[in-house]
Amino acid sequence: MNLNEILEWRYATKKMSGKAVPQEKVDYILEAARLAPSSSGLQPYRIIVVTDPEIKEKIKPIAWDQSQITDASHVLVFAAWDNYTEEKIKAVFEKTLTARGLPLDRMDAYRERLWGMYSQLTEERHNHHAAKQAYIAFGLAIAAAAEQKVDATPMEGFDPNALDEILGLREMGLKSALVLPLGYRDEDNDWLAGLEKYRTPEEEFIINK
């Protein structure tokens, strides 16, 4: 199957079977997310992999009681940096330059320009910008899961503050942005399985100029 056929196959699974996703497939999906591009290469987000049934039980009620949270074997939580600081940016740039064997001052001018821009913004805007980067990794994880014939449900339907509390994210300087349960569709009990996929028609969606 090519990528578009894979994307046609996948859907936001509403009922999962409880069957576990093999670890190597989870690792592959996480690697696709790790390889995602991000603004200035900062990767201002982390992925928390929840497999503990007790933690999943705690998350379910604050995620609109969505059954995928407990029926998925792995629940990926995409969490964005709560803010940008000069130190955080410097640390990433230094690691990048070290990995490339380049002088550590090579990106100083760029970093100063970047911080000049970010330092004008509120922490809320920082977190919003960081979360936007997380969405790119999220999209790639969804595609990678589908390529592995693993079902996934993209989720914004949860209380982020409550999830941050359950996972202790505040202490890590993170705020939850998105949740992606991974598992396998329960075709017989999923009302969405087999329904036609609807997308805005191409002629309306694509605007040629």
Give the binding site for ligand FMN (CB under 6 A): 11-12, 14, 66, 153-157, 197
> Which C-beta is closer to ligand FMN: that of 17 or that of 111?
17
Cα dihedral 184→174→32→39 (10° resolution): 140
The rounded distance, in Å, linking the Cα atoms of 146 and 29 is: 9
Q: How far is the CB of 98 from ligand FMN (least distance, A)?
A: 35
Q: How far is the CB of 20 from ligand FMN (least distance, A)?
A: 21
> Which C-beta is closer to ligand FMN: that of 92 or that of 166?
166
Cβ-in-10-Å burial (0-12, 13-18, 19+) of 101 comes to exposed
Residue nearest to ligand FMN (CB): 157
> Which C-beta is closer to ligand FMN: that of 12 or that of 35?
12
Helix (H) or strand (E) run with residue 81 in it = strand 74-81
Q: How far is the CB of 200 from ligand FMN (least distance, A)?
A: 11
> Which C-beta is closer to ligand FMN: that of 79 or that of 155?
155
Cβ proximity of 155 and 67 under 8 Å: no
Cβ proximity of 79 and 130 under 8 Å: no
Q: How far is the CB of 66 from ligand FMN (least distance, A)?
A: 6
